[in-house]
């Protein structure tokens, strides 16, 4: 049933946002080429199957002319840390990705040793001009499992209570514990998605996956290799497994939390909601007269219109007291947001 709901959710949102959701998967991983295939094949089990592969180790960094045509770029480094193309210009990151994000792109960076590849271990404080500060919206690199936990490794990671329950939790590994994944501190407005666990683990609560959505770009940072998730376990509904559910939930989060990048005119509109998740109300904020007094509509995950009103102010308060807890989609003209009510 949950799989059916996810498919309906994806279909409904695709209709609402008119987004093609074209994905470019850039592999930057020579450590295990089998992981590249596993990650790619898991994406194909989701509702997002328009995926183009680009092996950066063989073909180099994709050009701006190529990368700018995609709704989402996934930069996958697996467990590799050596000579990563991601860091081709040092800690500022490669110029193609910076340009893509400056023009309104969405990026999902994935890899257990991504930070180690240029910072060579924790601790490190990120500063303006560094990619992880400017775009991943991270304040600091705090810890690395096994290295900074007395040689234990982390047994599992757990969903932050402020993110969607579509994320499976806990996530366990094909190993008893997992070594060399990173704990970080997000900057203000950055969201913690997964944290080290369980409570008995010495560094429990450290963040290892974050999301940031700015006015013109969004970045999901996953500081572990998802192909190490134990795919024999499911915290969702069979026949899927935690690896597939994790990737589906992450892609849903990226695509439904951000503005549609296919609409050129919308790239420079600051259209946001807060608090999100919320309880009895939330605010819609925007920065353009063109949206003032426009109608907003809220849809259920099945595409049913459940609430509507007008944007009477640049900061419009919306009551959701009469809506049951769940996931909804806010739509104003061609702009869309995923909202969650507790």
Task: Mark which of 257, 285, 303 sits at the end of a domain.
Answer: 257
Which CATH number belongs to the domain containing residue 192 in this structure? 3.40.50.880
Res 74: pLDDT = 98
Q: Residue 262: inside a domain, yes or no?
A: no
In a domain, 182, yes or no: yes
Residue 239, in any domain of the structure: yes
Is residue 90 domain-shared with residue 209, that is, in the same domain? yes
- The residues of the chain scoring below 50 in pLDDT are 1-19, 258-267
In this predicted structure, what is the pLDDT of residue 16? 40
Residue 288's pLDDT is 79
Same domain for 19 and 123, yes or no, is: yes
Q: Establish if 264 belongs to a structural domain.
A: no
Domain that holds residue 295: 269-341
Handedness of CA 214, 138, 37, 246 (dihedral sign): negative
Place of tokens 């919306």: 318
Q: What is the pLDDT of residues 324-336, one digit of tens each?
A: 988 888 888 878 7
Does residue 59 sit within a domain? yes
CATH of the domain at 328: 2.60.40
pLDDT score, position 14: 39
Domain C-terminal end among 214, 237, 257: 257
171 with 249, same domain?
yes
Same domain, yes or no: 208 and 74: yes
Residue 38 and residue 151 in one domain: yes
238 & 294 share domain: no
Count of the separate structural domains present in the chain: 2
324 and 214 belong to one structural domain: no
Euclidean distance between CA atoms 215 and 218, whole angstroms: 8
pLDDT at 327: 82
pLDDT at residue 340 in the model: 84
Residues with Cβ within 8 Å of 58's Cβ and at least 6 positions away in sequence, in order, are none
Measured distance CA(56)–CA(335) in Å, rounded? 33
Shared domain check, 331 and 210:
no
Q: How far is 263 from 252, CA to CA, in rounded Å? A: 19
Whole-number pLDDT of residue 4: 34
pLDDT at 9: 40
pLDDT of residue 257: 65
- Do residues 161 and 288 share a domain? no
């Amino acid at each position: 049933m949950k799989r059916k709901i996810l498919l309906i959710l994806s279909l409904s949102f695709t209709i609402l946002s008119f987004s093609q959701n074209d994905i470019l998967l850039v592999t930057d991983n020579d450590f295990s080429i089998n992981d590249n295939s596993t990650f790619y094949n898991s994406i194909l089990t989701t509702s997002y199957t328009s995926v183009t592969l680009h092996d950066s180790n063989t073909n180099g960094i994709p050009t701006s002319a190529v990368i700018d045509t995609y709704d989402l770029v996934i930069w996958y480094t697996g467990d590799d840390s050596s000579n990563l193309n991601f860091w081709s210009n040092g800690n500022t990151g490669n110029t193609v990705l910076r340009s893509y994000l400056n023009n309104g792109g969405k990026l999902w960076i994935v890899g257990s040793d991504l930070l180690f590849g240029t910072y060579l271990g924790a601790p490190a404080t990120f500063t303006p001009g560094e990619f992880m500060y400017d775009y991943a919206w991270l304040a600091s690199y705090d810890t690395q499992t096994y290295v900074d936990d007395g040689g234990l490794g982390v047994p599992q990671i757990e969903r932050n209570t402020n993110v969607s329950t579509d994320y499976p939790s806990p996530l366990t590994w094909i190993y008893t514990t997992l070594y060399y994944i990173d704990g970080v501190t997000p900057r203000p407005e950055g969201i913690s998605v997964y944290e080290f666990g369980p409570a008995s683990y010495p560094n429990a609560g450290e963040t290892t996956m974050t999301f940031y959505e700015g006015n013109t770009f969004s970045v999901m940072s996953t500081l572990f290799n998802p192909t190490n998730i134990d795919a024999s376990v499911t915290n969702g509904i069979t026949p899927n497994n935690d690896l597939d559910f994790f990737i589906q939930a992450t892609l849903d989060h990226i695509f439904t939390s951000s503005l549609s990048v296919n609409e050129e005119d919308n790239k420079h509109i600051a259209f946001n909601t807060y608090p999100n998740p919320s309880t009895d109300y939330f605010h819609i904020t925007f920065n353009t007269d063109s949206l003032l007094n426009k109608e907003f509509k809220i849809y259920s995950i099945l595409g049913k219109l459940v609430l509507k009103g007008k944007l009477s102010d640049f900061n419009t308060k919306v009551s959701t007291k009469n809506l049951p807890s769940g996931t909804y989609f806010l739509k104003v003209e061609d702009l869309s947001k995923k909202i969650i009510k507790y």
